[in-house]
Amino acid sequence: MTDQKILVTAAAGKTGSYVVKQLLERGFPVRAMVRRSNEKSDQLASLGAEVLVGDFLDLQSLRGALTGIKRAYFCYPPTDRLLEATANFVLVAREMGLESVVNMSQIIAREGHPSPLTRQHWLAECVLDMAGVGAAHIRPTLFAEMAQMLGAQSIANEGKLYLSHGDKKHAPVAAEDIACVVVGVLINPKPHIGKTYTVTGPKSLSQGEIAEVIGKVLRKPVEYVDIPLEHWQQAMADGGHSSFLIEHLSRVAEDYKKGLFDGVTDVVLKVGGRTPQTFEDFVRENIEAFGETVTAGQNVN
């Protein structure tokens, strides 16, 4: 075991919870920063993490989180004020002598992107690089979990996956696999400082092929329906998604239709040390999230 405690922000989130678990399994003590105390934070504590309720937009809160920390995972939720959060984090990180940070970004982060969130991710990368805090940037493609987040209800009720992504492809990557890349950098940061890693799953699939895979595992027909962008925006609004997130996902869909998400990398294996999960295996492991249950003795292979 090492006594070098690592800070994991957004520790109750999709990647953060896996980062905490994987670090603890490797013998690294973890300080898990969460937005609120709840069942998820209790689970992190039960694993052995030091849980701290913190706020990126509160400097004193960040000082408490970063005290005694030399390595950190910086992950901001898909909401506004990312740039302010990054500036606060950098200010305190420099005060505390942070030596390395793994930053969660996006595969399409670039100057002038029409999505405010994606544009802020690019600026956040620049701020972290200029701050000299040993930054490495993780740029994942679309998460495998996206099919659950945006399609689970319609798949369960109608056998339909409604999106506005055309017929281009991406290689879905599970949050657990992204986390292992983050952990790979955190446990040995020096070779990765200044690097940017594009993280994907093992195979590019169109949304139609994704629907077919889901249908195969669920043992029922599932069809991808490519709907006009304005209809998809309304569906997301009806589903309770914020206007900020809807704007972001809409601009992402436009990039997707241009083929900007297509491609496969070996980063999960080379940096994370594991073979990335196929999308089919991901669906099998998360079948209940699609409104299906596996009864005793049922074979879903």
Task: Encode pLDDT of 160-180 as tens digits.
Answer: 999 999 999 999 999 999 999
Q: Are residues 183 and 236 in the same domain?
A: no
Asked, for residue 278, whether it belongs to a domain, the answer is yes
| pLDDT tens readout for residues 119-154 | 999 999 999 999 999 999 999 999 999 999 999 999
* Closest residue by Cα to residue 160 from 197, 236, 212: 212
* Closest residue by Cα to residue 203 from 145, 243, 144: 144
pLDDT at 298: 36
Which of 199, 217, 243 marks a domain boundary? 199
Collapsing DSSP states into helix, strand and coil, what is residue 38? Answer: coil
Mean pLDDT of the chain: 94
Q: Are residues 286 and 184 in the same domain?
A: no
Asked, for residue 15, whether it belongs to a domain, the answer is yes
Answer whether residue 194 shows pLDDT above 60: yes
What's 191's DSSP letter? Answer: G
Asked, for residue 150, whether it belongs to a domain, the answer is yes
Query: How many separate helices (H) and strands (E) can be counted in the chain?
Result: 12, 11
Q: Contact 260/170 with Cβ under 8 angstroms?
A: no
Q: Are residues 30 and 123 in the same domain?
A: yes
Q: Are residues 155 and 177 in the same domain?
A: no
Quote the domain boundaries for residue 16: 6-140+173-199
Q: Are residues 118 and 152 in the same domain?
A: no
What's 74's DSSP letter? Answer: E
Q: Are residues 134 and 155 in the same domain?
A: no
Asked, for residue 49, whether it belongs to a domain, the answer is yes
Asked, for residue 267, whether it belongs to a domain, the answer is no
Q: Are residues 31 and 110 in the same domain?
A: yes
Collapsing DSSP states into helix, strand and coil, what is residue 206? Answer: strand
CB atoms within 10 A of CB 13: 20
Asked, for residue 182, whether it belongs to a domain, the answer is yes
| pLDDT tens readout for residues 249-295 | 999 999 999 999 999 999 999 999 999 999 999 999 999 988 764 43
Asked, for residue 245, whether it belongs to a domain, the answer is yes
Amino acid at 75: C
Q: Are residues 59 and 164 in the same domain?
A: no
Asked, for residue 189, whether it belongs to a domain, the answer is yes
Q: Are residues 52 and 88 in the same domain?
A: yes
CB atoms within 10 A of CB 2: 11
Query: Contacts by 148-157 with C-beta closer than 8 Å and gap 24+?
Result: 148/286, 148/289, 148/290, 150/236, 150/249, 152/289, 152/290, 152/291, 153/239, 153/291, 155/214, 155/218, 155/222, 155/290, 155/291, 156/290, 156/291, 156/292, 157/291
Q: Are residues 63 and 209 in the same domain?
A: no
Say how many domains are in the chain.
Answer: 2
Q: Are residues 281 and 187 in the same domain?
A: no
Q: Contact 222/152 with Cβ under 8 angstroms?
A: no
Q: Are residues 93 and 29 in the same domain?
A: yes
Residue 225's contacts (CB-CB under 8 Å, 6 or more residues apart) are 160, 161, 162, 163
Answer whether residue 53 shows pLDDT above 50: yes
pLDDT at 141: 98
CATH number at residue 62: 3.40.50.720
The H-or-E segment that residue 73 falls in is strand 71-74
